[in-house]
Structure 1
Amino acid sequence: MGAEISSEFRSIPDLLRYRVRQSEAGEAFRFPVDGQWHTLTWGQVWERARAIALGLHSLGVEAEQPCGILASTRVDWILADLGILCAGGATTTIYPTTTAEGCAYIVADSDSTVVFAENDEQVEKLRSMRDQLPNLRKVVTFDGTSDGNWVITLDELEERGRRLAASEAELFERIIDRVEPEQLATLIYTSGTTGNPKGVRLVHANWLYEAEAIHQVGELTIDDVQYLWLPLSHVFGKVLQVGQLREGFPTAVDGRVEKIVENLAAVRPTFVAGAPRIFEKVYNKVVLQAKEGGAAKYRIFRWACDVGLQASRLQRAGKRPGIALKVQYAIADKLVFRQLREKFGGRLRYFISGSAALAPDIAEFFHAAGILIVEGYGLTETSAASFVNRHDDYRLGTVGKPFPGTEVRIASDGEVLLRGGGVMRGYHNLPEETAETIDDEGWLHTGDIGELDGDFLRITDRKKDLIKTSGGKYVAPQSVEGKLKALTPYVGNVVVFGDQRPYCTALITLDEEAIVPWARENELGELTYEELTAHPKVTELIGEAIDVLNRGLDRHETIKRFTILGRDLTVENNEVTPSLKIKRKAVAENHGDAVARMYTDTVQSL
């Protein structure tokens, strides 16, 4: 488990060069333009990366010089990232949802001298804060407008690079050869729950470790096709890039969440990575469609799910179903499950889930339908992937086995400690915070509570999120929240409270896609979403689900009171991160009055 692994490559540019030599004419990327999919070969990627790198070199970008990318997931993001790394620089990632003030903080703290900005809207964020960014020399825009001076287009940058390549033919190779394994490659700012975000310093050696570990695990091959929609500003999206470089499979790139279902059918990927909220939404939609089909169709759906779960549980226990169950499953598959798999393109080998805990009930439903979700685990501070279930060696409810070369230890208080090639080199400009996170023996303290079942790791909650009631009982809120979301399609987000309180309560938001059709069926179709959240029938609907939830919980875990919020939790209100993790402290602050009311006698108790 803990044996070190090494890479034959010196840097990500060196790995890119290898991939181009191996697969020059092969498809690297597929991307949408005006409703049509276009492709880039690895040879074309090399040409574009060279033009961008030399364009940056002409702007004075040198070794380890941070350059920001402020854009959504698209092929230009990846090309800009490769260009920055091939110039010897380091990529600073910035979510496109970041405010102007937040962008200014990251650009200034990282000392980024060049920022790639997606469009005029993103350029304006930087322009409005320009007086706070004296070291920002140039903005390169993908779709925005050039002013010929401070702001130039990506095409203009690449043209500068091509001119330089024509005059100095060997320059690009010389720059690549100078990039060392311990040079800074990426600064990823963790969104955090309080204060300013912290820049996580990841070097080329970190990414090379991830690439080699992915290769040794052997789950991905050059014959795979990836559909990539995850935010590339997040470490989960980044690690998928280096996995692709190592293995050489093509990737279809489109970050538009509203296009996911349409793109799955068009791309027909063999694997897709996503956050749990996406799988919850798919599950909710499937359940709702079955209900909308009428009582008979819904009974068939529930029967198929029961049959599928029986077969799934036998399979995971290493047993074979009997003849009767085999026949029943074949019918269930024909009537229900096959149609679901076809929506994902028909050749999906598995989904990969990460960035937050996946509710076991959701994983079980998909497995019953013949769709495996392999859950993994890691942090920004560990270059994303540290654990993952394998397609032929998995346990639902766990995050799998460690990557080759990663060591794990469970501390006396249950905290998960990790050590290995993926561990960051520290927080940018924050030596004290670094020392608090990585101890003298190199163990990174993750802040997550977990347990080992053989080699499989199970994460139970965040250390700081564990609730201790005033009666001294501990509650893992994420577990309770996940169970509720699996019980009903009408719940969007759930946040459980109860620390130092006599009982647990919950703030709940509704899933708008689910509750609106329900409202029409229940003669409430004229009400707005906000009006629905306050309607007694909706309160009763959610209350029934919580009654079912509570019957399966220990007494101290049960939800005694709940409040349905008038809106969903949002990134804009600082209540969830761009990767859809809930910021509990921010939610408590934004909705403090609602929480307080649940601990008074004026609120109806369940």
Structure 2
Amino acid sequence: MKGPTMTTASSSTPTVHLDPAVQSVGHMLRRRVAATPDRRAYSFPTEDGSWDVVTWAQLGIQAAEVGAGLVSLGVQPEDRVAIASTTRYEWVLTNYGIMDASAATVTVYPTTIADDVQFILDDSDAKIVFVEGAEQLAKITGLRDQLPKVEHVVLMTGRIPEGTDTSWVLTMLDLRHRGVLALRENPALVDERVDATTMEHLATLIYTSGTTGRPKGVRLPHRVWVFEAYTADATAKSAGEDLLTIDDKQFLWLPLAHVMGKLFMVLPLHYGFETAVDGRIDKIVDNLAVVKPTFMASAPRVFEKAYNGVEAAMVAKGGITEKLYRWAVKNGGAVFEADHGVGHAGAFTRWQAKLGDRIVLSKVRERFGGRARFFISGSAALNPEISRWFGAVGMPVLEGYGLTESSAGTTLTQPSQYRTGYVGRPLNGIEAKVDSDGELLLRGPSIMDRYHNNPEATAEVFTEDGFFRTGDIAEIDDQGRIRITDRKKELFKTSNGKYVAPALIESTFRGLCPVASQMVVIGNNRKYVGALITLDDAAITAWAEKAGITGSYKEIVSSPQVHGLVGGYVDELNATLNRWEQIKTYRILPRDLTVERQEITPSLKLRRKVIAEHFNYDIEKLFEE
């Protein structure tokens, strides 16, 4: 097989020097506990609404109990242990315990349908399954006859329901008690497991949520996580910056079953900063004001919703308040862009920006806790206009890029190298090239080992010289910064032979329309391009109230006023597009897309095949003559 022809390549990247004494996530945890035992490690909400805190020393003890408990159940090195839970402290603790046992974590989204759960647990050979509560327990116990390899289920929260077979199900407290007894018998039990773990031992098995077809199990050895932590630090320092320090505070809401969430559980081990963890999506904005983080990583949809929320609030206030806000954002944006190589901001503009920041934008930042130095966006493209807005407000969003197969962290914008619409340079130690057809290719220590039990799929994604085919279309500028333009498989061709990149159009629309939730661009083999549109419930309800429109969400979005509003933004979108890309017709759906209906992934990406099935009637209506 002939290797691909490269049309563009990033500049060579410095080597990352790893500590040979750190061979695994377990080694990283042990070193962190020894280095800063009394510093705060994690904080998390309790049932009464307050926040509890554990130090690194406390976390180390608890994780060792979980790890020793797993060993007492017969878990061997690299045995698979699954977690089916939302993001919460118990997820974090369980993962660290699995690392202490030298086992491998298999991640399962709590929203995953039973059929896929059965496939993942069976394909991974999971021996133990941790479940969050009664709902997840019922899902697993309902599959018991189809899960002969699962030896035990551990209930992380709550009590075991009456009538449950307790020879198969035990609580987290039961497991930790077993761990305490095992450690009394052999105090070195966990240390022995960690000491025997090497870089190439399997640490994580993540089944890609997938927008089509059966999920593929991505095998990530300890090597990738150790490398990710060290390269994040080394890359920032080589740019003359300390992006993260021990004094930072992270707010972690990301699904921990997702590779990006996993990465942000590893970074605290290296840096030692505190992480506030709470996966309730409806509490993100409220939590920011309480937690007061210095940074947060997120998928773009959260930044879009936060931006739309501020915009809607300013429009609702109107008058001088809205005018001052627009003035402040305009000047703040001009200075931010000028400081990053776009345009010019003179002394008067800078004076206005400082004044606007003091009287307006500082109050906007308070909505986000008032301490945020930056945010990190990944998982999908962030709309450039929203990126500019956050920069203007004084909380720049540093875009990063990666896939499950590349351990999430492949590129990251450094503040000094910021360019709107770009995801930064490759991290130190990672090579990036663009193939002749525009596909981005990657090589380096962060790339997966292989797909689990799937040699055919593995062979398809690696070139002869070891580069991983990302499936993303990209450009690399003269400074080595990468711009992702679309998914290769999502590009479609109209019946007129013109290619269309739907994700870019969809992202642009969400940035333009403050009441938008989703846009799904459709037009494969069609004469023209159409779109399905959903609106954000809170945003459109607030707009409707001001416009004097009453009724349910379905009634509001079907009103002529809302169609006129959305149509105006579609026209604005079309003005930015080539003729063959323009949205000729659209339909506003009577409800939003949901994770529960499998229409979007837990990381908020569109599942186009499912959407096409659920809204086939609406799609056909788009293209009626």
Which residue does 2:424 correspond to in 1? 400
- 2:614, 2:342 → 1: CA distance? 48
For each residue in 1:188-220, what CA deviation from the matched residue of structure 2 results, as whole angstroms up to 9, or x when unmatched? 010112222111000011111111111212321
Counterpart selection for 1:470 from 477, 492, 495: 495
- Contact kept? 1:145, 1:151, Cα under 8 Å: no
Question: What are the equivalent positions in structure 2 for 1:227-238 lying under 5 Å apart?
Answer: 227-238=251-262
Matched, 1:512 2:537: yes
- Contact kept? 2:285, 2:306, Cα under 8 Å: no
Question: What are the equivalent positions in structure 2 for 1:471-550 lying under 5 Å apart?
Answer: 471-525=496-550, 527-550=551-574
Code of the residue aligned with 2:517 in structure 1: it is G
Matched, 1:29 2:42: yes
Q: TM-score, normalised by structure 2?
A: 0.94
CA-CA distance at 1:321 after TM superposition: 2.8
CA-CA distance at 1:2 after TM superposition: 4.4
Which residue does 1:5 correspond to in 2? 16
Moved more, 4-13 or 130-139: 4-13
Counterpart selection for 1:16 from 18, 25, 29: 29
Which residue does 2:67 correspond to in 1? 53
Code of the residue aligned with 1:310 in structure 2: it is A
- 1:490, 1:319 → 2: CA distance? 30
- Contact kept? 2:64, 2:179, Cα under 8 Å: yes
Which residue does 2:141 correspond to in 1? 127
What's the RMSD between the two structures over aligned residues?
1.4
Which residue does 1:80 correspond to in 2? 94
Which residue does 1:112 correspond to in 2? 126
Matched, 1:258 2:282: yes
Which residue does 2:321 correspond to in 1? 297
Moved more, 478-487 or 132-141: 478-487
Which residue does 2:153 correspond to in 1? 139
Which residue does 2:179 correspond to in 1? 161
Question: What are the equivalent positions in structure 2 for 1:405-424 lying under 5 Å apart?
Answer: 405-424=429-448
Question: What are the equivalent positions in structure 2 for 1:244-255 lying under 5 Å apart?
Answer: 244-255=268-279
Which residue does 1:568 correspond to in 2? 592
Moved more, 546-555 or 486-495: 546-555
Moved more, 406-415 or 175-184: 175-184
- 1:357, 1:556 → 2: CA distance? 22
For each residue in 1:318-341, what CA deviation from the matched residue of structure 2 results, as whole angstroms up to 9, or x when unmatched? 776323212322332234211111
For each residue in 1:276-325, what CA deviation from the matched residue of structure 2 results, as whole angstroms up to 9, or x when unmatched? 00000011111110111034433333233322232222222277632321
- 2:398, 2:287 → 1: CA distance? 21
Moved more, 411-420 or 98-107: 98-107
Which residue does 1:604 correspond to in 2? none
- 2:577, 2:113 → 1: CA distance? 41
- 1:330, 1:388 → 2: CA distance? 28
- 1:479, 1:155 → 2: CA distance? 48
Counterpart selection for 2:83 from 69, 77, 83: 69
- 1:4, 1:217 → 2: CA distance? 10
Q: Secondary structure at the match of 2:417?
A: coil
- Contact kept? 2:44, 2:53, Cα under 8 Å: yes
- Contact kept? 1:491, 1:510, Cα under 8 Å: yes
User: 4+ runs of 1 displaced by more than 4 Å?
Assistant: none
- Contact kept? 1:28, 1:250, Cα under 8 Å: yes
Q: Secondary structure at the match of 1:105?
A: helix
Question: What are the equivalent positions in structure 2 for 1:333-412 lying under 5 Å apart?
Answer: 333-412=357-436
Q: TM-score, normalised by structure 1?
A: 0.97
Counterpart selection for 2:107 from 93, 96, 100: 93
- Contact kept? 2:528, 2:580, Cα under 8 Å: yes
Q: Secondary structure at the match of 2:220?
A: strand
- 1:317, 1:392 → 2: CA distance? 10
- 2:320, 2:575 → 1: CA distance? 28
For each residue in 1:261-280, what CA deviation from the matched residue of structure 2 results, as whole angstroms up to 9, or x when unmatched? 22212221111001100000
Counterpart selection for 1:431 from 455, 463, 475: 455
CA-CA distance at 1:547 after TM superposition: 1.1
CA-CA distance at 1:349 after TM superposition: 0.8
For each residue in 1:3-38, what CA deviation from the matched residue of structure 2 results, as whole angstroms up to 9, or x when unmatched? 543422111111111111111121111111121111
Aligned length: 600
- 1:513, 1:427 → 2: CA distance? 41
Q: Secondary structure at the match of 2:415?
A: coil
Moved more, 72-81 or 474-483: 474-483
Which residue does 1:149 correspond to in 2? 167
Counterpart selection for 1:42 from 48, 52, 56: 56
Q: What stretches of structure 2 of length at least 5 have no aligned partner? A: 1-11, 237-242
- 2:389, 2:88 → 1: CA distance? 31
- Contact kept? 1:73, 1:254, Cα under 8 Å: yes
For each residue in 1:338-394, what CA deviation from the matched residue of structure 2 results, as whole angstroms up to 9, or x when unmatched? 111111121211000001110101001111111100000000000111000012221
Moved more, 429-438 or 536-545: 536-545
- Contact kept? 2:254, 2:260, Cα under 8 Å: yes
- Contact kept? 1:483, 1:549, Cα under 8 Å: yes
CA-CA distance at 1:158 after TM superposition: 0.4
- Contact kept? 1:470, 1:500, Cα under 8 Å: yes
For each residue in 1:154-188, what CA deviation from the matched residue of structure 2 results, as whole angstroms up to 9, or x when unmatched? 11100100011111122221111111211111010
Matched, 1:458 2:483: yes
- 2:417, 2:540 → 1: CA distance? 38
- 1:514, 1:319 → 2: CA distance? 33
- Contact kept? 1:2, 1:420, Cα under 8 Å: no
Moved more, 361-370 or 137-146: 137-146
